[in-house]
């Protein structure tokens, strides 16, 4: 395959040499999606119910929290690559530049929000756990003091 | 000018299974990106915000139109998953013979529906 005409290359319209990188990243993130989304689907089935206390405690555990954090990164990255192809196929001229810019901003914002939500949930669950532990410790020390008298 | 076949031609073509898989791969992938990711963020955000926000999410997700969206998204995932695996096979240079390609294209599309039905059956029955 060529690299476009000489004039095209001078104008910066020739091959940008990003194609194989894009292709590879699409495959790597596809493998990431495969593992993490299947983890999510199996978890939905395996959890006893999908009510708030169950799901909240589940996402607070280390493995689900890591899996969902990785899911957010992999899925948003993959979506960024896929939507780029959509834009390149159907949007032309100046609106293409605007669409790609908007896409990049939306993907960074979305992935950032997803990661923040996971961190918030993990922190909240850890906080609840340490409160419970502190209450239990206070209770048992009070009981042992009473028992000592 | 030599009489050579013009291909691909814009007006002379007929439907084939590979075209359907290709179109469904794009539709399901872009559907997941444009609809699925906002729903994912809504769900995670509700989970992070507390019981009231989560109850609001569940309330809307369990209406008939909520279920329609969730079933559609699960189909989009399993369809994209099946045709994505087909892409991995094609990437190693296998499966291009016409018969095999047609056969696996049909299997891929069917697998998307079967896995979706199996997922909801497992979710509701197990």
pLDDT in tens, A122-137: 999 999 888 988 999 9
User: What's the confidence (pLDDT) of residue A87?
Assistant: 96
Domain annotation for chain B: domains and CATH numbers: 18-125 (1.20.1300.10)
For residue B25, the chain A residue with the least C-alpha distance is: A82
Q: A68–B29: do the CB atoms touch at under 8 Å?
A: no
User: What's the confidence (pLDDT) of residue A12?
Assistant: 63
Q: What is the ipTM, given to two decimal places?
A: 0.90
The token pair at A138 is 């206070």
* Residue B121 DSSP class: H
Q: CA separation (Å) from B96 to A23, A127, B21? A: 19, 55, 14
Domain regions of chain A by residue span: 8-148
pTM: 0.88
Q: B48–A121: do the CB atoms touch at under 8 Å?
A: yes
Q: State the fold for domain A8-148.
A: 3 helical TM bundles of succinate and fumarate reductases (1.20.1300)
CA distance linking residue B33 with residue B16, whole number of Å: 26
Q: What is the mean pLDDT of residues A64-81?
A: 98
Most distant pair of Cα atoms in chain B: their distance: 73
Distance from CA of A79 to the nearest CA of B (A): 5
When the pLDDT of each residue in chain B is averaged and rounded to a whole number, the result is: 94
Residue A41 neighbours by CB under 8 Å, 6+ apart: B77, B119
| B residues 11-70 closer than 8 Å to A (CB) | 26, 29-30, 32-34, 37, 40-41, 44-45, 47-48, 51, 54-55, 58
Q: A68–B34: do the CB atoms touch at under 8 Å?
A: no
């Amino acid at each position: 395959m060529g690299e476009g005409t000489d004039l095209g290359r001078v104008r910066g319209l020739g091959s940008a040499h990003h194609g194989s990188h894009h292709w590879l990243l699409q495959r790597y993130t596809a493998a990431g999606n495969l593992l993490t989304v299947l983890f999510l689907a199996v978890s939905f089935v395996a959890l006893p119910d999908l009510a708030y206390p169950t799901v909240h405690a589940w996402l607070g555990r280390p493995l689900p929290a890591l899996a969902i954090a990785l899911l957010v990164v992999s899925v948003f990255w993959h979506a960024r690559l896929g939507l780029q192809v959509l834009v390149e196929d159907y949007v032309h001229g100046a609106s293409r530049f605007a669409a790609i810019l908007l896409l990049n901003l939306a993907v960074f914002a979305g992935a950032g929000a997803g990661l923040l939500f996971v961190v918030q949930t993990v922190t909240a669950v850890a906080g609840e756990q340490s409160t419970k532990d502190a209450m239990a410790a206070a209770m048992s020390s009070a009981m042992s003091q009473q028992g000592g008298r | 000018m030599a009489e050579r076949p013009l291909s691909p031609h814009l007006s002379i073509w007929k439907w084939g299974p590979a075209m359907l898989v290709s179109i469904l791969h794009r539709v399901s992938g872009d559907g997941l990106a444009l609809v699925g990711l906002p729903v994912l963020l809504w769900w995670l955000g509700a989970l992070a915000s507390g019981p009231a926000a989560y109850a609001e999410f569940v309330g809307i997700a369990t209406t008939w139109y909520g279920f329609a969206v969730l079933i559609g998204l699960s189909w989009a995932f399993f369809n994209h998953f099946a045709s994505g695996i087909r892409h991995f096979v094609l990437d190693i240079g296998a499966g291009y013979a016409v018969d095999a390609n047609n056969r696996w294209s049909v299997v891929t599309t069917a697998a998307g529906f079967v896995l979706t039905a199996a997922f909801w059956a497992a979710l509701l029955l197990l």
